[in-house]
C-alpha cells in the first residue's frame, strides 16, 4: 500500500504544480484503434530510438578525422596499413571495444529497418487513404522524414571511410558536379576542395549525429503530436464510423502492447546483429581512390538512385563551352523526384479531381479506390525496377545472364512495367469489388446442396455476418460530379469550365471508377455532409440487412 | 511547502489572480480538484468559492473524481477488473512470470559475458558478439513475449468507443480568434505604421543573406583545378602499392594490367583521385591506332594515339568519366575495361571508347615514353580533364 501512497503523493505533488489530473486522465483513456498495419509506424519510432541509443554509444569511440594513421590494432590483416583515423577507430570499435561490434551492427541494421519501415508505413498509409484530409500535413512530414532518412543513412555509412563507402562519396561528388552552373562549386564547398580532401568526414559527422537527427526528432515529435491530436484512423468494421474511434484505451492496453513491441523490435535487431554480418568494413579495407571491387552495392534505400544512374543512357551535351551532364543530373534527380514529388502532390490532386473536401477517419480498403491503388502499385513498380537495376550486376551474376541484358531490360521496364502494373492492379481491384458485390447480393456459400420438392438442386447460401457486412459496405463515395455544377443550370460550374474543367471531368471519371454496391447497401450518394456510411446510417443499415438476407438466403442458381 | 497547501489561497491572496480558479473549473464541476488534493484543513479559511452543499474537498481527495463529464466527451465505462478466462489467466500468469525470470537471467548473463569474454582477436570478437548478442536478444524477446501474453490473456478484452469531432473550429471560435488576432495586430501598430514595418523588413534582409556568406569559406573556388592532374613531363610511373618504377621489359605479359601513379604522389589521395592510371599490355596488332591522331593534339575518341604507347603498353586514366569510380575491372579476352559502380564499359584497344553504360567520354589516354634508364615516364599531363563531367568543362 505504501507504493500506492507514494504514487498518490507524487501525483499530488506534480498536480499541484502542473494541473495535470484532468488532461492526463483523458490521455490515459485515449482510445487507440488496433490493426496489424498500424504497427509499421511503431517500428520506425523504435528503430529510431534504438539508433539514438546505439549511435550515442558509437560516438564515444569514433574519431571523425581524416588524418592519416598507421594501423596497429587487433585486426591483423590490416596492420601496418595507412588509413584515416575514422577507419582505424571503426576497426577499434569492432575489434577492441567489448560489445562494440554488436552495437555497430545493431546500429546499421536499425538504420536499414528504419528506412524499410518508413517505406512500408508510407505504403500502408497511401493504400488505405489515411493521408486524406485532415492528415495531409502528417503525410508531407512523412515524405520529408523519408528524404532526411536517406541522407542520414548515406552520411552514416560513409563515416567509417572504408573502400565501399568512399566510392559512394565519390559518386556523391560526381552527382554534385553534374549540377548546371553551381555544381563544381557545390562539390568544392562540401568537400572543402578537391575530392576527397580532409573535411568531408568531420562535416558529415556533425550532420549525421546532430543536425539531421535533430530535425528527424523534431519532425517525429510533430508527427506523433498530430497523430494524437487528430486521433488515429481506423479500419472499417462493425460499429466503426467516420465519427468515432473504437479500440482499447492507451493505459494500460496500448502502453503494454507498444512496450512489448519495442522489446520485439530490439530483439529482432539484436538477433540480426548477432547472427548476420552487416557492413564488414574490415573486409573492404580503407578508402583509396584507386581501388574498387566488383559487386559494389550501396545500402538498399540508395538502390533506386544507383539503378537510375546505371540505366540512364549516355546523353550529354556541350552548350557554349559548358558541359551539361544530362546522363547524371537527370537520373540523380528525376526518378526520386517523381516518387517523392508525386507522393507529396497526390492528396491535393485527388482532392481537386474528386472535389472531396470532407474529413476521412475511416480507412479505405485498397480495392475500393482502384485508381489510387493502381497508381500506388505503378509507383512501387517504377521504384522497384530502378532498385533492382541498382543490383543488376548481382542479378546478372546469380541468374547467369548478360549484364548488359539486365540493363536493357531495365531501360524499357522502368517505363513499361509501371503502366502494366497500373492496368493489372486496376483490373484486380475491380474484380475484388465485383466479388464483394457478389457476396452482398448472393451471400456466403455454405457448401450445402438442397433438393427442392420439384427435384431441382440448389446451393444454400447464408447472408454475410454483421462484421463482414460492415467491412464490405464501407466505402467513401466521392461527391458526384454533378455537385460541382450549378444545379438546374445548363452551364457547368466555374470549376468545370474550359479545358482545365474538361481535364478535371475526365480525371474524375478515372479516379472514381468503382463497382457500385448493390441496391440497399449503397451509401447515399452525395450525402451532403459526406461522412455517412451504410454501417452507421442506422435505419438504413438495419433495413438492408434482412433485405440482403432474404435475397441471399434464397435460391441461388448458377 | 507553503505552495502545496491552502486551497484557494491564490484567489484570496491577490485579487489580480481571482480569475484562475474559474478558469480551471471552467464551470464544469470539478473545481475542488486542486483544492481537495492537498487540503489540510477543510474547515479553515479555505475555499472562498466553495458553496455549501457542494462536495467537500475531503470527498474529492482522490485525483480522479468519481463522476465527471468533460467537454462533451462520452463517459467511458469502467474497465473490467477480471480477465475473460480466469482459469486460463492463472496458467498464463505462470508462463509470463517464467518469461520475465528467464529474461532477467539472460540480462545477468549479458553482464557476465561482458565481464568474462574479452575482445582483441577475430575469434574472441566472434565469441563475444555471439554471447552478448544472443543474451541481449533473448532478454528482449522474452520481455516482449511475456508482455504480449500479459496483455492478451491477463488483461480483460475491452473495446471502448470515443467520439470524434470535426477538426475545424466552430464559426464562433474562428470569429473570436480573428477578433483577437486583429486586436493584437491593431494594438501593435504594425499595420498602421508602415515605416516601422518596412524598416523592420529591411533589417531582416541581411539576416537572411548573412548565413550564405558565412558558408563561403567552406572550400576554395574550383578555378581550373579540375582541368589538370599532377602528371608532368618526365615523371616516372610507379606501381600503386609497391611504389616501384616500371620498365617495359618487366611488364611484358600481354593482357596484364597494373595501376600506377605519379612519382611522389602515391600516398596523396587528393592527387591520386585524379591521377590514377591503368597500364595495359597488348599483343602486337591488338591496339587500333588512330590514323589522324597526332601527339600533343586532342585524343581522337576511339583510337589509341600511336606516339603515346611504348611497346604495346597503353596508359588510360583509371577514373571513370561517369562518376569518378576507379574503372577497375578488366577482361583480357574482350579488352573491355568495366567500371564496377555503374558498368560503363570501355574498349581498351580503341582508345577506351565507351561501348556500354552511362559514361559519355572515353577514358583519357596518358602520353607515355621511356626515360634514359628504361623506366616508363609520362610525356605530360592528360590533354583533357579526367573524371566526371562538370559545368565548366568545355
User: What number is the ipTM of this complex?
Assistant: 0.88
Q: Select from A25, A84, A290 the residue whose CB has the most chain B CBs within 10 Å, as the one to mutate to test that interface.
A: A290
In this structure, are residues A425 and A377 in contact, taking their beta carbons and an 8 Å threshold? Answer: yes
Judging contacts by C-beta atoms under 8 Å, the chain A residues touching residue B141 are: 263-264, 267, 271
Least CA distance to B63: which residue of chain A? Answer: A21
Check B117 against A259: CB less than 8 A apart: no
Over residues A303-319, mean pLDDT: 93
Q: Select from B225, B259, B342 the residue whose CB has the most chain A CBs within 10 Å, as the one to mutate to test that interface.
A: B342
pLDDT at A486: 56
pLDDT above 90 (res A339): yes
Check A323 against B166: CB less than 8 A apart: no
- Dihedral angle sign, alpha carbons of residues A156, A160, A163, A167: positive
In this structure, are residues B388 and A328 in contact, taking their beta carbons and an 8 Å threshold? Answer: yes
Count how many residues are written for chain B. Answer: 394
Q: Select from B391, B392, B394 the residue whose CB has the most chain A CBs within 10 Å, as the one to mutate to test that interface.
A: B391
Check B391 against A94: CB less than 8 A apart: no
* B238 sits in which H/E element: strand B237-239
Q: Which of B119, B145, B354 sits opposite A96 (nearest CB)?
A: B119
Residue A35 region, left (φ>0) first, then alpha (ψ -120 to 50), else beta? beta
- Greatest Cα-to-Cα distance within chain A, rounded to the nearest angstrom: 97
Over the stretch A82-132, which tens digit does the pLDDT of each residue have? 999 999 999 999 999 999 999 999 999 999 999 999 999 999 999 999 999
Please give the Cα distance from B167 to A132 (Å, whole number). Answer: 13
Over residues A322-326, mean pLDDT: 92
Contact partners, residue A512, CB within 8 Å, separation at least 6 = A354, A371, A478
B325 touches A: beta carbon within 8 Å: yes
Q: What share of chain B is helix, strand, coil (3-state, %, to 5)?
A: 40, 15, 50
Judging contacts by C-beta atoms under 8 Å, the chain A residues touching residue B38 are: 12, 16
Judging contacts by C-beta atoms under 8 Å, the chain A residues touching residue B10 are: none
Please give the Cα distance from A110 to A88 (Å, whole number). Answer: 23
Check A246 against B358: CB less than 8 A apart: no
**A425: nearest Cα among A496, A374, A477:** A374
Q: Which residues pair with B378 in a beta bridge?
A: B368
Residue ranges of A 195-254 with Cβ closer than 8 A to chain B: 195-197, 199, 230-231, 239, 242-249, 252-253
Residue A274 region, left (φ>0) first, then alpha (ψ -120 to 50), else beta? alpha
A180 touches B: beta carbon within 8 Å: yes
Judging contacts by C-beta atoms under 8 Å, the chain B residues touching residue A256 are: 147, 150-151, 155
Please give the Cα distance from B232 to B254 (Å, whole number). Answer: 27
The ranges assigned to domains in chain B are 86-216, 225-378
A309 touches B: beta carbon within 8 Å: yes
In this structure, are residues B230 and B265 in contact, taking their beta carbons and an 8 Å threshold? Answer: yes
A93 touches B: beta carbon within 8 Å: no
Judging contacts by C-beta atoms under 8 Å, the chain A residues touching residue B324 are: 170-171, 173-174, 195
Q: Which of A178, A192, A253 sits opposite B388 (nearest CB)?
A: A178
Least CA distance to B214: which residue of chain A? Answer: A189
pLDDT at B46: 41
Residue A524 region, left (φ>0) first, then alpha (ψ -120 to 50), else beta? beta
Q: Which of A21, A290, A322 sits opposite B240 (nearest CB)?
A: A290
Which band of pLDDT confidence, cut at 50, 70 and 90, is reported for residue B14?
very low
In this structure, are residues B288 and B340 in contact, taking their beta carbons and an 8 Å threshold? Answer: no
Least CA distance to A230: which residue of chain B? Answer: B167
Min distance B181 CA to chain A CA atoms (Å): 23
How many Cβ atoms from other residues are within 10 Å of residue B299's Cβ?
A: 23
pLDDT above 50 (res A175): yes
B217 touches A: beta carbon within 8 Å: no
pLDDT at A520: 74
Judging contacts by C-beta atoms under 8 Å, the chain B residues touching residue A261 are: 144
Please give the Cα distance from A201 to A64 (Å, whole number). Answer: 6
pLDDT at B355: 93
Give this prediction's pTM: 0.86
**B291: nearest Cα among B281, B277, B305, B301:** B305
**What radius of gyration, in Å, describes the C-alpha atoms of chain A?**
29
Least CA distance to B8: which residue of chain A? Answer: A16
A538 touches B: beta carbon within 8 Å: no
Q: Select from A136, A263, A331 the residue whose CB has the most chain B CBs within 10 Å, as the one to mutate to test that interface.
A: A263
pLDDT at B292: 53
Check A327 against B322: CB less than 8 A apart: yes
* B100 sits in which H/E element: helix B86-116
B59 touches A: beta carbon within 8 Å: no
**B146: nearest Cα among A386, A260, A394:** A260
pLDDT at A482: 61
* B158 sits in which H/E element: none
**Chain pair A-B, CB pairs under 8 angstroms:** 322
- ω before A134 within 30° of 0 (cis)? yes
pLDDT above 50 (res A529): no
pLDDT at B8: 39
Over residues A17-37, mean pLDDT: 92
In this structure, are residues B348 and B336 in contact, taking their beta carbons and an 8 Å threshold? Answer: yes
B78 touches A: beta carbon within 8 Å: no
- The more confident residue out of B70 and A224 is A224
Q: Which of B259, B356, B360 sits opposite A316 (nearest CB)?
A: B360
pLDDT at B336: 95
Please give the Cα distance from A48 to A265 (Å, whole number). Answer: 11
Q: What's the Cα-to-Cα distance from A298 to each of A302, A306, A352, rounded to whole Å? A: 6, 8, 39
Q: What's the Cα-to-Cα distance from B333 to each of A393, B46, B115, B363, rounded to whole Å? A: 19, 99, 56, 19
Which band of pLDDT confidence, cut at 50, 70 and 90, is reported for residue B255?
confident
Over residues B219-243, mean pLDDT: 94
Fold of B225-378: Rieske Iron-sulfur Protein (2.102.10)
Judging contacts by C-beta atoms under 8 Å, the chain B residues touching residue A187 are: 222, 390
In degrees and rounded to multiples of 5, residue B241 shows phi and psi of 115, -55
**Surface-to-core class of residue A255, CB atoms within 10 Å of its CB (0-12 exposed, 13-18 middle, 19+ buried):** middle
pLDDT above 60 (res B299): no
Residue A181 region, left (φ>0) first, then alpha (ψ -120 to 50), else beta? left
Please give the Cα distance from A556 to A446 (Å, whole number). Answer: 12
Count how many residues are written for chain A. Answer: 558
Q: What's the Cα-to-Cα distance from A95 to each of A88, A100, A160, A274, A320, rounded to whole Å? A: 10, 7, 14, 15, 55
Least CA distance to B125: which residue of chain A? Answer: A95
In this structure, are residues B83 and B154 in contact, taking their beta carbons and an 8 Å threshold? Answer: yes
Please give the Cα distance from A303 to A296 (Å, whole number). Answer: 11
How many Cβ atoms from other residues are within 10 Å of residue A28's Cβ?
A: 14
Which band of pLDDT confidence, cut at 50, 70 and 90, is reported for residue A534?
very low
Q: Select from A174, A195, A362 the residue whose CB has the most chain B CBs within 10 Å, as the one to mutate to test that interface.
A: A174
Least CA distance to A182: which residue of chain B? Answer: B391
Check B389 against A310: CB less than 8 A apart: no
Q: Which alpha helices (H) appear in chain B, and where do they start and end? A: 9-13, 19-25, 32-38, 86-116, 122-149, 171-188, 194-214, 269-275
Contact partners, residue B264, CB within 8 Å, separation at least 6 = B235
Q: Select from A177, A197, A256, A406 the residue whose CB has the most chain B CBs within 10 Å, as the one to mutate to test that interface.
A: A177
- Dihedral angle sign, alpha carbons of residues B309, B314, B320, B325: negative
Over residues B205-227, mean pLDDT: 92
Lowest mean pLDDT among A27-41, A205-219, B46-60: B46-60
B334 touches A: beta carbon within 8 Å: no
Judging contacts by C-beta atoms under 8 Å, the chain A residues touching residue B130 are: 274
Q: Which of B345, B354, B389 sits opposite A325 (nearest CB)?
A: B389
Q: Which of A12, A230, A246 sits opposite B167 (nearest CB)?
A: A230
Check B324 against A174: CB less than 8 A apart: yes
Check B125 against A94: CB less than 8 A apart: yes
pLDDT at B301: 58
pLDDT at A475: 87
Over residues A364-374, mean pLDDT: 96
Least CA distance to B76: which residue of chain A? Answer: A29
Over residues B136-151, mean pLDDT: 97
In this structure, are residues A136 and A348 in contact, taking their beta carbons and an 8 Å threshold? Answer: yes
Check A15 against B34: CB less than 8 A apart: yes
* Per-residue cell: A261: 513491441
Judging contacts by C-beta atoms under 8 Å, the chain B residues touching residue A311 are: 358
Over the stretch A416-446, which tens digit does the pLDDT of each residue have? 999 999 999 999 999 999 999 999 998 898 8
Please give the Cα distance from A129 to B120 (Å, whole number). Answer: 53
- The more confident residue out of A521 and B267 is B267
B156 touches A: beta carbon within 8 Å: no
In this structure, are residues A523 and A517 in contact, taking their beta carbons and an 8 Å threshold? Answer: yes
* Per-residue cell: A453: 420438392
The mean pLDDT of chain A is: 89
Check B161 against A25: CB less than 8 A apart: no
Residue B278: strand, helix, or coil: strand
Amino acid at each position: 500500500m505504501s507504493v500506492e501512497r507514494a504514487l498518490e503523493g507524487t501525483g499530488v505533488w506534480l498536480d499541484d504544480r502542473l494541473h495535470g489530473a484532468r488532461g492526463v486522465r483523458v490521455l490515459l483513456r485515449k482510445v487507440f484503434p488496433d490493426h496489424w498495419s498500424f504497427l509499421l509506424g511503431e517500428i520506425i519510432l523504435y528503430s529510431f530510438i534504438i539508433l539514438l541509443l546505439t549511435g550515442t554509444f558509437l560516438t564515444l569511440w569514433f574519431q571523425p578525422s581524416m588524418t592519416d594513421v598507421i594501423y596497429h590494432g587487433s585486426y591483423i590483416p590490416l596492420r601496418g596499413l595507412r588509413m584515416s583515423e575514422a577507419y582505424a577507430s571503426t576497426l577499434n570499435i569492432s575489434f577492441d571495444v567489448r560489445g562494440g561490434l554488436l552495437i555497430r551492427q545493431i546500429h546499421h541494421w536499425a538504420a536499414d529497418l528504419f528506412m524499410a519501415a518508413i517505406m512500408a508505413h508510407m505504403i500502408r498509409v497511401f493504400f488505405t487513404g489515411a493521408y486524406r484530409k485532415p492528415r495531409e500535413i502528417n503525410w508531407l512530414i512523412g515524405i520529408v522524414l523519408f528524404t532526411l532518412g536517406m541522407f542520414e543513412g548515406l552520411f552514416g555509412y560513409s563515416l567509417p571511410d572504408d573502400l565501399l563507402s568512399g566510392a559512394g562519396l565519390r559518386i556523391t561528388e560526381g552527382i554534385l558536379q553534374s549540377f548546371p552552373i553551381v555544381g563544381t562549386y557545390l562539390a568544392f564547398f562540401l568537400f572543402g576542395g578537391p575530392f576527397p580532401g580532409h573535411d568531408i568526414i568531420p562535416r558529415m559527422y556533425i550532420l549525421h549525429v546532430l543536425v539531421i537527427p535533430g530535425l528527424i526528432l523534431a519532425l517525429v515529435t510533430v508527427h506523433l503530436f498530430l497523430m494524437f491530436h487528430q486521433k488515429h484512423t481506423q479500419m472499417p468494421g462493425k460499429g466503426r464510423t467516420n465519427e468515432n474511434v473504437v479500440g482499447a484505451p492507451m493505459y494500460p492496453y496500448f502502453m503494454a502492447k507498444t512496450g512489448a513491441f519495442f522489446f520485439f523490435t530490439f530483439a529482432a535487431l539484436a538477433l540480426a546483429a548477432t547472427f548476420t554480418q552487416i557492413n564488414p568494413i574490415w573486409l573492404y579495407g580503407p578508402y583509396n581512390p584507386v581501388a574498387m571491387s566488383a559487386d559494389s552495392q550501396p545500402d538498399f534505400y540508395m538502390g533506386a538512385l544507383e539503378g537510375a544512374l546505371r540505366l540512364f543512357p549516355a546523353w550529354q551535351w556541350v552548350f557554349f563551352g559548358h558541359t551539361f551532364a544530362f546522363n547524371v543530373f537527370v537520373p540523380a534527380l528525376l526518378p526520386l523526384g517523381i516518387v517523392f514529388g508525386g507522393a507529396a502532390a497526390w492528396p491535393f490532386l485527388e482532392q481537386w479531381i474528386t472535389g472531396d473536401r470532407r474529413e476521412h477517419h475511416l480507412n479505405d480498403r485498397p480495392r475500393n479506390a482502384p485508381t489510387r491503388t493502381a497508381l500506388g502499385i505503378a509507383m512501387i513498380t517504377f521504384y522497384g525496377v530502378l532498385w533492382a537495376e541498382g543490383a543488376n550486376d548481382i542479378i546478372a551474376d546469380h541468374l547467369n545472364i548478360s549484364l548488359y541484358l539486365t540493363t536493357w531490360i531495365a531501360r524499357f521496364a522502368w517505363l513499361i512495367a509501371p503502366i502494366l502494373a497500373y492496368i493489372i492492379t486496376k483490373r484486380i481491384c475491380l474484380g475484388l469489388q465485383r466479388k464483394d458485390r457478389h457476396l452482398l447480393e448472393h451471400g456466403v456459400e455454405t457448401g450445402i446442396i438442397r433438393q427442392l420438392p420439384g427435384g431441382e438442386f440448389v446451393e444454400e447460401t447464408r447472408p454475410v455476418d454483421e462484421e463482414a457486412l460492415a467491412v464490405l459496405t464501407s466505402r467513401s463515395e466521392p461527391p458526384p460530379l454533378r455537385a460541382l455544377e450549378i444545379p438546374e443550370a445548363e452551364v457547368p460550374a466555374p470549376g468545370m469550365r474550359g479545358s482545365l474543367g474538361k481535364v478535371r471531368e475526365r480525371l474524375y471519371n478515372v479516379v472514381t471508377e468503382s463497382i457500385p454496391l448493390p441496391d440497399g447497401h449503397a451509401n447515399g450518394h452525395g450525402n451532403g455532409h459526406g461522412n455517412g456510411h451504410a454501417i452507421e446510417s442506422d435505419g438504413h443499415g438495419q433495413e438492408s440487412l434482412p433485405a440482403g438476407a432474404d435475397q441471399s438466403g434464397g435460391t441461388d442458381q448458377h | 511547502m507553503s505552495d502545496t497547501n491552502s486551497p484557494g489561497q491564490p484567489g484570496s491572496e491577490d485579487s489580480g489572480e481571482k480569475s484562475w480558479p474559474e478558469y480551471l473549473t471552467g464551470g464544469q464541476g470539478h473545481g475542488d480538484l486542486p483544492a481537495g488534493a492537498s487540503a489540510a484543513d477543510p474547515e479553515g479559511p479555505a475555499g472562498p468559492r466553495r458553496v455549501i452543499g457542494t462536495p467537500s474537498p475531503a470527498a474529492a481527495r482522490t485525483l480522479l473524481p468519481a463522476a465527471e463529464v468533460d467537454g462533451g466527451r462520452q463517459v467511458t465505462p469502467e474497465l473490467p477488473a477480471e480477465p475473460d478466462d480466469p482459469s486460463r489467466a492463472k496458467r498464463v500468469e505462470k508462463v509470463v512470470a517464467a518469461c520475465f525470470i528467464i529474461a532477467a537471467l539472460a540480462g545477468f548473463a549479458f553482464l557476465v559475458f561482458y565481464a568474462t569474454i574479452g575482445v582483441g582477436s577475430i575469434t574472441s570478437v566472434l565469441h563475444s558478439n555471439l554471447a552478448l548478442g544472443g543474451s541481449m536478444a533473448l532478454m528482449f524477446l522474452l520481455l516482449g513475449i511475456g508482455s504480449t501474453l500479459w496483455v492478451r490473456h491477463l488483461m480483460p478484452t475491452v473495446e471502448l468507443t470515443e467520439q470524434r469531432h470535426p477538426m475545424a473550429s466552430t464559426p464562433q471560435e474562428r470569429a473570436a480568434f480573428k477578433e483577437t488576432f486583429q486586436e493584437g495586430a491593431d494594438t501593435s501598430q504594425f499595420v498602421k505604421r508602415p515605416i516601422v514595418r518596412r524598416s523592420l523588413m529591411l533589417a531582416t534582409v541581411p539576416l537572411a543573406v548573412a548565413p550564405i556568406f558565412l558558408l563561403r569559406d567552406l572550400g576554395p573556388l574550383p578555378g581550373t583545378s579540375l582541368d589538370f592532374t599532377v602528371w608532368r613531363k618526365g615523371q616516372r610511373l610507379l606501381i600503386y602499392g609497391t611504389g616501384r618504377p616500371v620498365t617495359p621489359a618487366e611488364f611484358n605479359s600481354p593482357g596484364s594490367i597494373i595501376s600506377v601513379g605519379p612519382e611522389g604522389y602515391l600516398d596523396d589521395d587528393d592527387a591520386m583521385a585524379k591521377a590514377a592510371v591503368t597500364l595495359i599490355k597488348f599483343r602486337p596488332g591488338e591496339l587500333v591506332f588512330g590514323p589522324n591522331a597526332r601527339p600533343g593534339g586532342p585524343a581522337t575518341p576511339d583510337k589509341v594515339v600511336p606516339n603515346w604507347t611504348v611497346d604495346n603498353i597503353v596508359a588510360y586514366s583509371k577514373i571513370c568519366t561517369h562518376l569518378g569510380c576507379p574503372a577497375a575491372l578488366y577482361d583480357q579476352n574482350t579488352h573491355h575495361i568495366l567500371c564496377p559502380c555503374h558498368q560503363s564499359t570501355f574498349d581498351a584497344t580503341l582508345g577506351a571508347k565507351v561501348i556500354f553504360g552511362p559514361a559519355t567520354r572515353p577514358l583519357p589516354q596518358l602520353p607515355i615514353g621511356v626515360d634514359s634508364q628504361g623506366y616508363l615516364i609520362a610525356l605530360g599531363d592528360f590533354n583533357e580533364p579526367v573524371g566526371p563531367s562538370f559545368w565548366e568543362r568545355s
